[in-house]
Chain A
Amino acid sequence: MQVTSLSFVIPNLVTPPYLRHSSKRCSNLAFFATMQVARAAGTPSKLPGSSSIHSSRTAASYAPLYLSSSLRHIAFDIEELEGIALDRLKVLKAAETARSNASIGQRSAAAVDAIRTSIRAAERAAGLNIPPPGNPTREDRVLKDEASHFLLRLALCKTHEHRNWLLSTEHDLFTARLEGAGAEFALQAIEKADGPTVRLASASDLERFRQELDAVARGPGRMKGDSGTNYYTVAFEQVPALIRYRRVFLDKGMAYVPERNVLDIVSSQFRSKLSHALVTASKAVGLADGDQRMRPILESIRQHYAMEEQVKGFDPAASIERINLTQLNESLPAMPLCMVNMMTRLREQHHLRYAGRLQLGVFLKGCGLNMDESLRFWRTEFGKGAINSDKFEKSYAYNIRHHYGREGKRRNLAPFPCMRIINDRPGPGEHNGCPYREFEETRLKQALRSIGTDPNAIPVIAAKAKEGNFQTACGICFASSQPGIHAVTETGMPEYIPTHPNEYFIEARKRRFAPNPDVSMLDADIDEEEMLMAAAAVESQNSDATPKKSGSDVDRDNEVVNPRTPLEKKDVNCGNNGLNASPGVCVPDTPVQATAHESPVIRKRNDDAPELQQPAKPANLQSNKDIEQENQPSTESGNMTGADRATVSTNKYSRGKDGSAEDAPASPKRQKKAVSP
């Protein structure tokens, strides 16, 4: 059994025990690595005997800042080490999930509590929680906690993304552990961390600023009972989170922090120390990676981190569902509301401000548009307004090329995930951001109607948005506007909650055009009747012409003008498949229409196969005819860059229709399962 010592990762090392049973070459290297890493971990070498654990431990809490470690001369089994590191990874993953499930819009005490509760639960499940002093397992657990922390620090310090992830999840874990600790603990920890000077505000200061402190304490979103509390003063730089939301009173650079917020100073210290340590560690990690015993552990951690990322997240590179410019219009109904909104605005105003161009631009890139196509797209849309080709080249083309990493830092910008979109809030005249967060209720409902969301779901979506559960709202919208069966959880919420607009787009396109009917069949529990109807739907798809082939003629035939919805102001393309011919079906807003809406529409087609469809599916969006017209001839003549791909995609697209059961009508049983209010 191979044994290694964590002295390798952690400082406080005088004689590394593993030196005794390592090959000479390896041990020299490892020893060097140890010293580097010791420095990297941001830890001053301390004399044996001084340990963070004993002094930072109180009866109430165990929340180490990991400034130094008690791991010395302790040998670990390598597999055991890997195991505890992966246990911690699970806890941090749980912290991440808890945060993204919590309502972002509100920073309510309840939301914060919920996050902390789930982190503590995950901690217990992984056996990483620290029992109170006196418990015989405590020492073991503390060692396990430290070992796992330092291992993750080493494993996940290489890239910016890893560092940020570790920083924010460790920070969440730290604050969860900090809960319930008193100001006394906080002040001690700050002192230990060589942190900023924190002073108890004097009675005369409190008297002088009584009115101001009271005004801050009484605002909504702040906790009651701040009156009579102690205040501590600290330099404003130390409490950025409190400054940002105006949660403290400031006087000449000093923040007056109420007693209960003193813990925030500690967690901000934790964050900045860890951030610093991670950057330093990233410079030395190559040495640890070079050690034959450490490398497998670190690699395993990285793999586990990435594996779960792939399952959960969206990987633009892995996307097979790429579209080109000619397919943009038919793909509009598969876009999430944030993108639909910007597309609509762009086509109304022939302009988008910088933040919108960026958000939509990288999204379209993620959808598959190449740089030339993107430039053509933006140039055409802007060209319909006041911006001619010349001005476009001068003022905007740089931006678009920048999205593709052809300018500036030459960094290939990744499409933004939901969290970033939610937090990038639009200013006046801007249309970026998350509509579920930004739109006022009436406008949100209107927008949802205009993309053909099931009218029964609209109030639920609006309510979720109001609560601040933007992604859940988006998930319900997905379930009630995209075709197919949508699995739900016990709470009645859809199982699929989008975390990335491109992921939404791919999922929606799979449902609309996937070659394999299983792809989005999350629900395996389908009865015979459903199977039959699904089969009918498959047949119907055979006959269903590839939507875009019908071209703009069909679009014009189906023009609907509905003054109620902003999306439909101009020539409205009522469904690219030519399915929704009636405005009543497109935009139902009465219960009667809603009922009609839910029943399948069956039509005969040329080859006598019945066509089944869910009318709620296609969005009513203005078509981008100019682009089509501009592109189609070149597609035919074959001199366009994307011509080949266009053909391929079209074929795949038809195949998708062939094999798809996604457009089957909702049977009563499915209705029960599908999300409905």
Chain B
Amino acid sequence: MPTAPTSSPALNSKPAPVPIAGDLSGKLGWYYARIFPASQFTRWLRYGNDDTLSRREISFTLPGDIYLRWKSFPTPSKLLDSLKSLTPIKIDIGAIYNFPPADKNSVSAPLTPMEKELVFDIDMTDYEDVMGALAGGSAVEVCDRNWPYMATAVKVIDAALREDFGFRHILWVYSGRRGIHCWVADARARRMTNEQRSAVADFLYLRFEGRENAGRRQNEVTVPLHPSLARAKRVACEKTFRQFVLNDQGMLDGDERLRRMLAVVPNAAVADGIYQRLASSAGLSGPDKWDRIEKELLRAGKSDYGVRATVDYIMFKHTYPRLDVNVSKEINHLLKAPFCVHPKTGRVCVPFRATEVDGFLPGEMAPEVGSLLAEMKEVDGEVRGSGPASDLMLEGVKVFEEFVNAVEDEARSAQRKKKLEALDQRQAAELLVS
């Protein structure tokens, strides 16, 4: 995977011989002009005034992997013009800086990031070691089949963000191929320092050893569980583990998988005993096998804390969200914007509701740019889309709009409060003078 550079010159002048599949560039021209929810998009980035938008770093990836960083736009219309003329295959959103990043070479002061949404990135590739029967195929197929992992991640992180941290303005977006993004736009989240971001990310992150390091058990999964982890187990992980991991993925089917699952039991004798007992009962279903394993582990765990904690550890290892924490830890890290079109799949990165994540199967719910364009018709002198893909798009825009409205409300009431305070001070000063 190419890793997005932490920074780059304004223009990577590398020649771009790579042709784009089909005529994506042409399609994108239409897409940005007619379908892209421009007004909601810029309303979000303005947070109530153009000044905020103008100091926001926005970067484009142009066909041929030409990467333009440090762009910024003084007004919404400048941004939209640029989208239409450059037709980027990817838009990344960075931080709000102390002055417009586009001026960074003409201003002598250092460019310092002031604010950015708290973001999370979860990618299906990080789940490969816990995929069983449903592994294999192209990236998109893997994602479509294994969506329950993502659904579990959304439920767990969404609940933690709301209940543990008290955030309210949370946007979930399908990344267009095999992952999901999360934007937390509360004013309080936007102002967090790197240290605070990294603390929150670590709080929401569990470390599981790779197969290479199997055996070194981590002590993050404790008995009793931290309330946040207990809630994760309650709201999603346990159910996903039994129904999806054990049944659909068949993670306990066959000797090798059974052994692999038991490899994390810190006491080899206990693990071996369980293995022997289960090896003889091949006819059992996955969840039934797990019931036995759990019983055995809890019994052996009466005198061994490590063994006792293994029960939840295994369950979390297969279900707990695997965040790419580096994306969340730094205020200046860029993240792909919602409503981009993924150049490899043609799928639009649509937002979805956390409460409806189970029903959001990307293969069916993410509109494809080709279908969207095919559905466009001229109605009453206006070009509009209608049809199944357009309906999906409309749904995504609706979710987005609700988010943007809420964010704008917060920004507006903050401004009002500020004004009142200023007024109070002035009145107080006048009183003093008189």
Interface residues of A (CB under 8 A from B): 212, 214-216, 218-221, 236-237, 240-241, 243-246, 249-254, 354, 394-396, 398-399, 402, 407-409, 425-431, 438-443
Contacts and interface: CB of A to CB of B under 8 A. Distances in A.
A429 B129 contact: yes
A252 B166 contact: yes
Nearest to A240: B199
A231 to B, nearest CB: 14
Contact of B8 (A251, A395, A408): A408
Contact of B214 (A240, A241, A430, A440): A440
Given A220-B305, A237-B192, A440-B214, A246 B5 contact: no
B7 A244 contact: no
A241 B210 contact: no
Given A253-B165, A440-B214, A408 B5 contact: yes
Interface string B183-207: 0000010001101101110110001
Given A215-B224, A244-B203, A408-B5, A439 B213 contact: yes
9 contacts: A212-B227, A215-B225, A219-B226, A243-B200, A244-B203, A395-B1, A408-B6, A429-B129, A442-B215
A241 B229 CA distance: 18
A280 to B, nearest CB: 13
Interface residues of B, number: 51
Closest 8 A/B residue pairs (Cβ): A253-B166, A240-B199, A440-B215, A428-B210, A252-B166, A219-B222, A212-B227, A250-B164
B212 interface: yes
The dominant DSSP class at the B interface is: loop
B335 to A, nearest CB: 17
B224 A218 contact: yes
Contacts of B299: none
Contacts, number: 120
Given A215-B224, A398-B2, A408-B7, A240 B196 contact: yes
Contacts of B214: 440
A244 B18 CA distance: 44
A250 B195 contact: no
Nearest to B324: A427
B3 to A, nearest CB: 5
B195 A409 contact: no
B2 A250 contact: no
A354 B212 contact: no
Given A219-B224, A408-B7, A396 B216 contact: no
B192 A215 contact: no
Contacts of B212: 431, 443
Interface in B154-169: 163-167
A250 B228 contact: yes
Given A354-B3, A409-B6, A394 B65 contact: yes
Given A212-B227, A253-B166, A439 B216 contact: yes
A442 B268 CA distance: 12
Given A243-B200, A253-B165, 17 more contacts: A215-B224, A216-B226, A219-B224, A220-B222, A240-B199, A246-B226, A250-B164, A394-B65, A399-B3, A402-B5, A408-B7, A408-B8, A427-B322, A438-B213, A440-B209, A440-B213, A443-B212
Contacts of B2: 394-396, 398
B199 A244 contact: yes
A268 B207 CA distance: 25
A351 B312 CA distance: 33
Contacts of B165: 236, 250, 252-253
Given A219-B222, A252-B166, A244 B215 contact: no
Contacts of B128: 428-429
A409 B9 CA distance: 7
Contacts of B167: 253
A407 B222 contact: no
B302 interface: no
Interface string B1-24: 111011111000000001000000
A466 to B, nearest CB: 9
Contact of B202 (A244, A253, A438, A442): A244
A407 B8 CA distance: 6
B147 to A, nearest CB: 20
B219 interface: yes
A241 B198 CA distance: 10
Contacts of B229: 246
Contacts of B211: 428
B213 A354 contact: no
Given A253-B166, A426-B210, A429-B210, A241 B199 contact: yes
